[in-house]
Amino acid sequence: MNNADQIHKNVQAIMAALPDDFPKPKCVESEESTALVWTWGKYRSVSVNVSDQNHLAYNWLNGTDQGWGWVTFDGMKLPDALVAEIRRNLRLEVGYF
């Protein structure tokens, strides 16, 4: 399996592992990775970089607050830290609205 095929497989696994209440992200592709990007307004977004490996790099912007991290994806379940970060930054927490 070449790199592009593995990246596509990893993206499909991540999409299948997303919680049901998550909006679908935009996919931005390059030769070496694919970014899954959630944007909510002008100053709030989360981006997850998917490569041919099982490591996911992510970054987020929430107003003037920003950050980044690395997690390992087992191919089945998104790491809790990443899910929590997406929920927090896109305001998908239970009881937010």
Question: What residues make up the domain containing 52?
Answer: 3-89
The reported pLDDT for the residue numbered 93 is 58
What secondary structure letter does DSSP report for 20? T
Rounded-to-integer distance, Cα 62 and Cα 16, Å: 26
- Residue 85 maps to a domain: yes
Phi/psi of residue 67, nearest 5 degrees: -170, 180
- State residue 83's pLDDT score: 94
CB 31 within 8 A of CB 47: no
The reply to whether 60 falls in a domain is yes
The secondary structure element, H or E, covering residue 86 is helix 80-89
Q: What is the distance between the alpha carbons of residues 57 and 9, in angstroms, rounded to a whole number?
A: 17
pLDDT tens digits in sequence order for the chain, 97 residues long: 678 899 999 999 999 999 998 999 999 988 788 999 999 888 889 999 999 999 999 999 988 999 999 999 999 999 999 999 998 888 765 544 3
pLDDT at 97: 39
Please check whether residue 50 lies inside any domain of the structure. Answer: yes
Q: What is residue 92's predicted lDDT score, i.e. its pLDDT?
A: 67
**Is residue 97 a part of any domain in this protein?**
no
48 is a domain residue:
yes
Whether 94 maps to a domain, the answer reads no
User: Does residue 96 lie within any of the structural domains?
Assistant: no
Number of compact structural domains in the chain: 1
